[in-house]
Structure 1
Amino acid sequence: MNTPSYNLPEGITSKSILIRDLNVHYLESGHLSHPLLLLLHGFPELSYSWRKLLLPLAALGYHVVAPDQRGYGRTVSQSDPSHRIQFDDDLSPFRILNLAHDIVALVFALGHTSTVAVVGHDFGSMVASTLALVRPDMFPKVVLMSSPYRGPPPLPFDIVNNPPDSQKHDPLLALDRALMSFNPPRKHYTRYFSTPEANDDMSNPPQGIHNFLRAYFHIKSADWADNAPRPLTGLPELASLPPYYVMPAEKTMPEAVAPFAPSTTEIGEATWLPDDELEIYSSEFGRTGFQGGLNWYRSAADPRLIGEFSIFHGRKVEVPAMFLAGKKDWGTYQFPGATTRMREACPRMEDEDFVLLDGAGHWAQQERPEEVMVHLERFLSRSD
């Protein structure tokens, strides 16, 4: 399948650069001599997800770069550029510290030694927070969009006096067992994303990949009237999460979102993602599959791969931080207590920098780019 044209406006260029084991594709705007600002996408997204912010941010005087991250889009292996990522491929390159390493290497490859800030959306928020945690000298400000930062995984504490259980504890497995006891039984989407079947389910859905992504983007946006996020206090309340987070136990993701696909009228009213722009996503993921992105979830759920990150347990993000999401984005509250943990882990996050936008769901930078720009400009220009 041929790679689609992004039809980018003048002032945004598509480039590639060799770093580490990758040939990294990225979108760029602004003068190379200006301070670097990095934009990191989530799932199932691409550098293209930042298309509405690149020019406005460059107009503020930044060199703005949005890469396709490891496993996504036009970023490919240097040694085997045509390889389509498979479930059985080595998972270790997708661990969080290696994903952060990619971005540090990208900064230097672009001719910079630091940035003005890093902005991450969805799973890109986890990479952005990791960068601010481990390299605050390079990333002096961080913006976390849609996914609250919950800190590095814990290390065992006081096991001399409180010996741990002999059997290893898998929190995600425990969560799934609890969800399976619901009526009707449910499963967590991160567990589903870690299965061998998920990539084929989403790459070859009954409704076609374009219609699947249309439903998926719709149901997580402010356009879906049933999105009414609120803080959750415990496990029983997870039953109120929408089916793209807590899925029916017997369904695939395409099956879970299919009943909520938008009507022809609703598609026409979704001016934030017209069909020709959605076609970029469906064509790219149709060409590459979803396994690269799914491997991020698998590695985050693998104790062997996330364990090395626990070396930073107890360390806080000491740079100024902002959280920015849509008011109709369940991502803010899908994990009970996550926002409280984020405020503890980001002590320099001011009250004014916890922002929930009216009229936006999970895809805030696409649904409400003007409002996102207002807050980014305020935060980035502020001297702390």
Structure 2
Amino acid sequence: MERIEHKYVHVNGLKLHLAEIGSESSPAVVFLHGFPEIWYSWRHQMIAVAAAGFRAIAPDYRGYGLSDPPPQPDKATLLDLVADLLALLDALALPKVFLIGKDFAAFVVSIYTLLHKDRVSGFVTVGVPFMPPNPPTFHHHLPEGFYISRWKEGGRAEADFGRLDAKSVVRNVYIMFSKSEIPIAHENEEIMDLVQPSDPLPYWFTEEDLATYGALYENSGFETALQVPYRSMDLVLDIKDPKVDVAALLIMGEKDYVLNFPGMEDYIRGGTVKTFVPNLEIVFVPEGSHFVQEQSPDEVNNLVVNFLKTHN
């Protein structure tokens, strides 16, 4: 971990923080985090990728971690993150990179690849597959207490999160998202009530890890994180043929709660995703949760490094 370096890059009027390891002359791999994650969630993969001869770069999005917040957090969208990624790679003089995205970063990877396919050597998504840029419909088939529906509601998550410190919010979300059931609250309870103070952390997630995440979210707060992705998911892009023929890998934990989203398992196992990404390999990690890259780092590291070496 001490070999990972930190720097700031000025992008689109903001100062973005990024972590980096590996030679600047090596092929670049850019890691994009989900929620409630941050650059730190890729710590195991960054070290493995650098050891395999690649340059690992992991930014914090605008409004996350140590990066500047957007000027109007309530108007931020996924397209801002895509624009930041393009500008960041230009600033680093990287014409072509591998992209690795976790959770909602799969949307960032999907849109970026559709818009800038010539800049992508290949991509890996973890926990969420490639998705064409259309508003999701799964929340229409789930109860009112579905966590995304609650977090899309202005003010509700702010009040819910605001009862706790940032570290406790991250703790609760890590515990919830490590299970195989979709987090759904009853009518008279909030999402944070789904986890009790006595509930243990996942066995692979240490108090030191929690303290690191807690400090970073203490710095950034949750304003931008609630806006992007949860309140900006209804993005529509006019892309006639949302198909990409670059090399791709999807890593899913067999116990990932996302597989229980209506239609998700069929989209992946039934092969629909391959109509958009024909060169896609899909790997399911037994016992893997939504945080499979932190839970089973050796297995994920091997999958990622083999993919990079095969398609470099």
Structure 1 and Structure 2 fold alike (TM over 0.5): yes
Contact 2:244 2:276 (8 Å CA) reproduced: yes
Pairing partner for 1:320 from 247, 251, 259: 247
Contact 2:122 2:246 (8 Å CA) reproduced: yes
The answer for unaligned runs of 5 or more in structure 2 is none
Residue by residue over 1:6-52, the C-alpha shift from the partner in whole angstroms, topping out at 9 and shown as x without a partner, is xxx23201111101121000110001111111000001110111111
Superposition pairs of residues 238-253 of structure 1, within 5 angstroms = 241-242=181-182, 244=183, 246-253=184-191
Query: 2:91 maps to which residue?
Result: 109
Contact 2:73 2:227 (8 Å CA) reproduced: no
Identity of aligned residues (%): 25
Which residue identity does 2:205 align to in structure 1?
Answer: L
So what's the TM-score if we normalise by structure 2? 0.89
Q: 2:142 and 2:113 mapped to 1: Cα distance?
A: 34
Q: 2:73 and 2:296 mapped to 1: Cα distance?
A: 38
Which residue identity does 1:132 align to in structure 2?
Answer: T
Query: 2:160 maps to which residue?
Result: 201
The answer for unaligned runs of 5 or more in structure 1 is 1-8, 81-88, 155-169, 181-185, 228-240
Which residue identity does 2:285 align to in structure 1?
Answer: L
Following superposition, the deviation at residue 252 of structure 1 comes to 1.8
Between 31-40 and 355-364, report the one with greater CA deviation: 355-364
- 3-state DSSP of counterpart to 2:119: coil
Pairing partner for 1:219 from 162, 176, 184: 176
Which residue identity does 1:323 align to in structure 2?
Answer: L
Contact 1:20 1:102 (8 Å CA) reproduced: yes
Query: 1:147 maps to which residue?
Result: 128
RMSD: 2.4
Matched, 1:44 2:2: no
Task: Report the CA distance shift for 1:10/1:283 in structure 2 as closer, same or farther (over 3 A).
Answer: closer
Which residue identity does 1:216 align to in structure 2?
Answer: V
Superposition pairs of residues 257-296 of structure 1, within 5 angstroms = 257-258=195-196, 262-263=199-200, 267=201, 270=203, 272-296=204-228
So what's the TM-score if we normalise by structure 1? 0.74
Query: 2:295 maps to which residue?
Result: 367
Query: 1:128 maps to which residue?
Result: 109
Query: 1:3 maps to which residue?
Result: none
Residue by residue over 1:302-359, the C-alpha shift from the partner in whole angstroms, topping out at 9 and shown as x without a partner, is 4xxx13x2x114320221111102111122341314324322211111xxx2111123
Which residue identity does 2:145 align to in structure 1?
Answer: K
Q: 1:331 and 1:39 mapped to 2: Cα distance?
A: 20
- 3-state DSSP of counterpart to 1:14: strand
Residue by residue over 1:247-304, the C-alpha shift from the partner in whole angstroms, topping out at 9 and shown as x without a partner, is 3233222112338x534xxx4x72x2210111111122223221111111344344xx
Residue by residue over 1:136-173, the C-alpha shift from the partner in whole angstroms, topping out at 9 and shown as x without a partner, is 1111201111012231228xxxxxxxxxxxxxxx9577
Contact 1:329 1:362 (8 Å CA) reproduced: yes
Pairing partner for 2:50 from 33, 58, 62: 58
Larger Rg belongs to:
1
Q: 2:73 and 2:169 mapped to 1: Cα distance?
A: 28
Q: 1:362 and 1:90 mapped to 2: Cα distance?
A: 26
How many residues are aligned here?
Answer: 307
Task: Report the CA distance shift for 1:345/1:108 in structure 2 as closer, same or farther (over 3 A).
Answer: same
